[in-house]
Amino acid sequence: MKFFLLALLTTTVLFGAKVVDVDEKYQDSQKCKVCHLRIVDEWSNSWHSKSHFANDEYFRQSMKYVSKKTRKSLNSVKVQCATCHNPRISVTSTGEDYEIAAIMGLDKGSKVDKAVNSKSISEGVNCVVCHNIDKIHDEYNDKKRGINRVEWTPSGTMTGPFKDAVSPYHKTIHHDFMDKTPNKMCFVCHANDRSVKGLVFTNMQKEYKGSKTCVECHMGPKRKDVASTYKMRGNKAKIRQVRNHSFAGAHITSMWKDALRLKLSKKGKNILVTISNPQPHNLPSGFGSREILVELVYKNGEKVIESKTISLSRHYTRKRAKPTIAHLAKKQTKDTSIPADGKRVLKISKVAGATSVEVTLSYRLVNDEVRSLLKLQEPRWSQKSFIAKDEIRY
């Protein structure tokens, strides 16, 4: 019986997106440092570099949680999540045959086991993810994301934003999504997130407004520098207009200061808290469970009369209305995010004995409920990032 299952496991075709192998000399970003030192150093501190399950506690704990609740093998969940987190994985789907083998402990050394533990994907979203994309199928059904939405260049061919780039180490081609239409590339993964039940809990591409591109904020303004130290002409490296590759986002506290605008006004017995969002996407956005905190401190002079906090965050439930994480949800609470280029108005009551109220906006990567469900320990998940503060007397 064991021999039969092992044979079945090794011969079963794992259908999925087309895989293009990456030569070993291009798998390790450290080898790119020879010419692209600054860029690699910037990337190495980004969350793209930490998108592998070994490097991100939230991601790792989420996969364990999904595996436990769905009774699906952890490796199968890893393959499923690799669609965006590790899109150069050599296996893109698993089937019933693999699940049987995994339950019986016969999957060691299998294609799936080797794929999820391969050193070649240990860097997460690295150079050969973004810079090996040859074609983006934005015409595909929006259920197809990550590896299922792109075609890869042959190994050793890098896609870049410069039409005149040359290198003695790899071929270089240009595509418009590298400079003129970069949102197309971002939305390969940062588009819509749906649970295993088909519930769409975030759709950043749909909520996006305005002409500003993703890279203007998350890679910063262009500046004069070298993209490569390779001496193209006249024994000098070419000076270009380049952007930062640290991909700053919600995990960077400084990104949040003044990201939202806060205004307080009086209306009868109430105070109106108007939160305006000048950004081109909703806040909070991204994966489910992110949170905007509205902290209220009622005072009489310097004396604090009362304090309370309003949480703007979505909550998710599975069968029998049990709390869960977004990726397992059947239902979700009302969207309380601040819409792109829009506003949300909260009506709060005055408190007896108080003569003023101070309002502070801050942000957390994960709300209390999900942090508890996943048993997250790292301080970053509960850390608050300051956004804005205002006070009104009444």
d(CA 31, CA 37): 9
Output helix, strand, coil percentages for the chain, rounded to the nearest 5. Answer: 30, 30, 40
Tokens 């240990």 sit at which residue? 122
pLDDT in the model for residue 97: 93
What would the mean pLDDT of 42-68 be, rounded to a whole number? Answer: 96
d(CA 335, CA 341): 16
Task: Please say if the pLDDT value at position 87 is more than 60.
Answer: yes
pLDDT in the model for residue 286: 82
What would the mean pLDDT of 347-356 be, rounded to a whole number? Answer: 96
What would the mean pLDDT of 48-75 be, rounded to a whole number? Answer: 96
pLDDT in the model for residue 299: 97
pLDDT in the model for residue 4: 35
Question: Exposed (0-12), middle (13-18) or buried (19+): which is 325, by Cβ within 10 Å?
Answer: buried
Question: Exposed (0-12), middle (13-18) or buried (19+): which is 25, by Cβ within 10 Å?
Answer: exposed
pLDDT in tens, 99-134: 999 999 999 999 999 999 999 999 999 999 999 999
Q: Cα-flanking dihedrals φ and ψ of residue 264, to 5°?
A: -110, 140
Cα atoms in the 13 Å half-sphere on the side-chain side of 277 = 22
User: How many CB atoms within 10 Å of residue 141?
Assistant: 9
pLDDT in tens, 13-28: 344 578 999 999 999 9
Distance, CA of 20 to chain centre: 24
| H helix or E strand, kind and range, residue 65 | helix 57-70
Short-list 274, 265, 262, 282, CA closest to 338: 282
What would the mean pLDDT of 71-76 be, rounded to a whole number? Answer: 96
With bands split at pLDDT 50, 70 and 90, how would you rate the model's confidence at 30?
A: very high
Distances (CA, A) of 174 to 34, 132, 159, 163: 21, 11, 6, 5
pLDDT in tens, 354-384: 999 999 999 999 999 999 999 999 999 999 9
In the chain, the domains with their CATH numbers are 2-242 (no CATH), 253-393 (2.60.40.10)
Distance, CA of 225 to chain centre: 28
pLDDT in the model for residue 14: 40
